[in-house]
Chain A
Amino acid sequence: MLPVFDVVLAAAILVSAALALWVRDRIAAVSGFLVTGLLVSLSWLRLGAPDVALAEAAIGAGLTGALLLRSAHRIPCAPSKALPPSLWCAAGALAIAISGAIVWTVTSFGAAPVYPSLVADNLPESGAQNPVTAVLLNFRAWDTLLEIAVLFVALTVVIMVAPARPRTAPLGPLVQPFARVLLPLTVLIGGHLLWQGGHAPGGAFQAGAVLAGGAIALGLSGVIGSKLTRQNGLALLAIAGLAIFALAALAAEVLTGALLGYPAGEAKTWIIAIESALTLSIAATLFLLFFGPAERH
């Protein structure tokens, strides 16, 4: 029965991806993208990677989809002029070559990954029972810090380019009650994901994305929109994540002599503190990526 489910899932991913690529209407194409993202996150679950599934659902499908929908209104329909056949052939040949290389490499024998055993051996000292959190916030926390810097740069670029703010008027009378119900739920789920990240799938990125989702719903309903984003406070909260993470990394070096080396026995406290700051900062960043910078007066 399960292979049937997997086959249907794989076929559905291909169909929705093709839909996203070939539909002329922008909104329909973005919807195709959203559905593809959700199906892909299901496939991550089937592959036994619930952390990736959560991240894909929250960020890959959810927020990226929201950002694309927000922009889709402003971009004219795809040109009806077809690509010249030579370009089609070249793109097809390139895609086949790359896919062939991947298939060949993946199906042929490789060395066993060194990480599972290393992570399992060092997990007790890492301050987290969830190996993914242990990798993200301890073993390879430097990668995560740089990823927070990527978010920071993305926000800076968006603020600089200053896209027009989305209009909230035509959304209908049900949005506000919906948002009022949704927001407390997202706070609850976000907090749960953050706390759960220590021992089960979850963590700052997923929690931040869920929080941002609730805030965006509230913003679209017009309750907080201009009131909250007009101040600089939200932008400061967004950049605080990078600053706090960097300062924590240096503080840890002062205490233990190793950059990002948390003091023995206190790793859990450090990780929770850093993750809490990151959750708020990520939520603020994603919210601002959607709504754009504060309006200038």
Chain B
Amino acid sequence: MSELSLLVLLPFLAATLTVAVPGRAASLGLVATAANALLVVSLCREIIARGAVEQVIGGWAAPLGITFVGDGLAAVMLAMTAIVSLAITAQAMSTPGRAGFWPLWMATLGALNGLFLSGDLFNLYVAFEILGLAAVGLTALAGTPMALRAAFDYLTAGLAGSLLILLGIALSYSVTGRVDLETVVVLTESSNGRIALALIAAGLAVKAALFPLHFWMPAAHSSAVPVASALLSALVVKGALYLALRLSIEGGAGAEFLRSALAVLGTGGMLWGAWNALRAERLKLLVAHSTVAQIGLIALAIGVAGDPLQNGLWTAAALLMLSHALAKAAMFLAVGRIAEALGHDRISGLNREELRPGAAEFAFAIAAISLVGLPPTAGFIGKWILIEGLVDEGAVHWIALLLLGTALSAAYLSRVVSRCLRGGPHVSATAQRLPWRSGDVAALGLATGALLLGLAAALPLTLLEVPFA
């Protein structure tokens, strides 16, 4: 059996097993995520050694059938998912969760893997359906009225996004007569086709929480339980961003109108998210608004990268996605621990006397370094590649906006970090540190991973340079 088949089917089998044997759900989840990580490693090695892999499902070639396409970009996304999923599983095993977490989490993993490998527009839509519904369930997991309300809004927004995507796919079928991804380049050639693409992109913008369609997201991400927030913020929104990048790649030069829109909306999101993060009073809300800002940054990176078939600037967007996934998951896990220790997550209450900053605060600080994009993180390398390319093009205004966004992210994150790092008289002599837990390992591991990824950035960059299938 090929890695691709197992990557997409093992999580679903694990999901059914976690329902059938709820007592062993956590260990089943661990086995599934570990196996998933091993499969991704083996797939990445194969792609580096032999180039992109393709698998024709059922022996029916596209456009009649569906093809899995594992190229460098897909591999990097799969690796991102695998790394974050190990940490999330580790964290979830250490905290007793509600029934329903494991099957939803496993279904999310399967949907993400299927999404990154799919070479067919309609199939991508079905994968988004699983992802969206599972994400709503994960939001509702907390069970509080606020979480249920946020989950319902998420469901409504997600369905609107799905309908837009489906409408776009139906229109693209009427324009080109087929629904595999190769249809995208044909779509860019006619105005009808561009309407179809714009509808798909609008749906993706809702699902990715791209400004100004992000209204549902801060509430959903901040009222969910920590593991679910980490999952939603780090991985689920990446599905839509990945497809936006994929459309930009498949569309080539003709997708410039999509990229321009992404750049403008991305800038708006970067500034608006940062502004709200600066004003947020609760820690979780700050991190959720920072996701709006970071999604804006990634959309901006996709938007200003130009034709991916002509230059390699788009790799910056992929690196930023990777870096954001690791750092943001670490940050939400750390925030969960901080809130658990304090009993609240008010930012003004982070100066405390009875507790010394511990592993969770440390993880938060390292993750913040990655999100701001200081060297040696992958976020830094991504921004570096992007700014270098923009300097060559002389696009000074985009560089200025990027730097402004960076400065703002440093400003809102230091609201938290400065409070955590401040020692001195307000910490009483009897202050205790929290005992270590495996949840700390997950947050710290991810944060350190995001930090070290900058030193090992050659690996994802090598993968990203594998030509598209």
Partner-B contacts on A (CB < 8 A) = 98, 101-102, 104-106, 108, 110-115, 118-119, 122, 138-143, 146-147, 149-150, 152-154, 156-157, 159-161, 235-236, 239-240, 242-243, 246-247, 249-250, 252-254, 256, 258-262
Contact = CB atoms under 8 A, between A and B. Distances in A.
Interface of B: 1-2, 4-6, 9, 12-13, 15-17, 19-20, 55-60, 63-66, 98-100, 103-104, 107, 110-111, 114, 122-123, 126-127, 129-130, 133-134, 136-137, 140-141, 148, 167, 171, 173-178, 186, 192, 195-196, 199
A99 B174 CA distance: 15
A140 B4 CA distance: 17
A80 B148 CA distance: 24
Contacts of A152: 12, 15-16, 103, 107
8 cross-chain pairs, A with B, having the tightest CB-CB distances, nearest first = A160-B100, A157-B137, A111-B177, A113-B177, A243-B16, A260-B58, A258-B59, A146-B126
Contacts of A101: 171, 195, 199
A154 B133 contact: yes
A262 B1 CA distance: 14
Contacts of A150: 126, 129-130, 133
A67 B1 CA distance: 41
Given A140-B60, A142-B58, A253-B5, 12 more contacts: A106-B171, A114-B64, A143-B123, A150-B133, A153-B130, A153-B134, A159-B99, A160-B140, A161-B140, A242-B16, A243-B17, A253-B1
A118 B137 CA distance: 39
Contact of B171 (A102, A111, A149): A102
Contacts of B129: 146-147, 150
A153 B137 contact: yes
A156 B177 contact: no
13 contacts: A101-B195, A111-B177, A115-B178, A138-B60, A140-B65, A146-B129, A149-B107, A150-B130, A152-B12, A154-B133, A156-B19, A157-B100, A243-B16
B99 A160 contact: yes
A146 B108 CA distance: 12
Residue among B103, B167, B186 with the highest chain A CB neighbour number at 10 A: B103
A147 B64 contact: no
Contacts of A258: 56-59
Given A122-B64, A139-B65, A243-B13, A259 B167 contact: no
| Residue from the set B16, B99, B126, B137 with the largest chain A CB neighbour count within 10 Å | B16
B66 A142 contact: yes
Contacts of A138: 58, 60
A169 B71 CA distance: 59
A252 B5 CA distance: 11
Contacts of A140: 60, 65-66, 122-123
Contacts of A114: 63-64, 177-178
B161 to A, nearest CB: 13
Given A138-B58, A150-B129, A150-B133, A253 B199 contact: no
Given A150-B129, A258-B58, A156 B140 contact: no
A139 B126 CA distance: 16
Nearest to B137: A157
A141 B9 CA distance: 13
A138 B66 CA distance: 11
Nearest to B22: A232
A105 B174 contact: yes
Given A110-B177, A143-B126, A259 B57 contact: yes
B12 A246 contact: yes
B175 A247 contact: no
Nearest to A159: B100
A160 B141 CA distance: 8
Contacts of B134: 153, 156-157
Given A149-B111, A157-B100, A259-B2, A105 B195 contact: yes
A142 B99 contact: no
B133 A247 contact: no
Contacts of A143: 66, 122-123, 126
A122 B110 CA distance: 30
Nearest to A267: B58
A140 B126 CA distance: 12
A249 B5 contact: yes
A246 B20 CA distance: 15
Nearest to B65: A139
Contacts of A113: 173, 177-178
A161 B141 CA distance: 8
A246 to B, nearest CB: 5
Contacts of B186: 111
B125 to A, nearest CB: 9
A146 B192 contact: no
Contacts of B60: 122, 138-140
B19 A147 contact: no
Nearest to A251: B1
Given A146-B126, A258-B57, A259-B2, A239 B196 contact: no
B175 to A, nearest CB: 5
B18 to A, nearest CB: 9
Contacts of B66: 140, 142-143
A254 B5 CA distance: 11
A142 B123 contact: yes
B192 A105 contact: yes
Nearest to B179: A115
Given A239-B16, A259-B5, A261-B59, A139 B133 contact: no
B20 A111 contact: no
B137 A156 contact: yes
B130 A149 contact: yes
A160 B97 CA distance: 12
Contacts of B176: 110-111
A98 B176 CA distance: 20
Contacts of B175: 105, 110-111
Contacts of A119: 64
B24 to A, nearest CB: 15
A118 B63 contact: yes
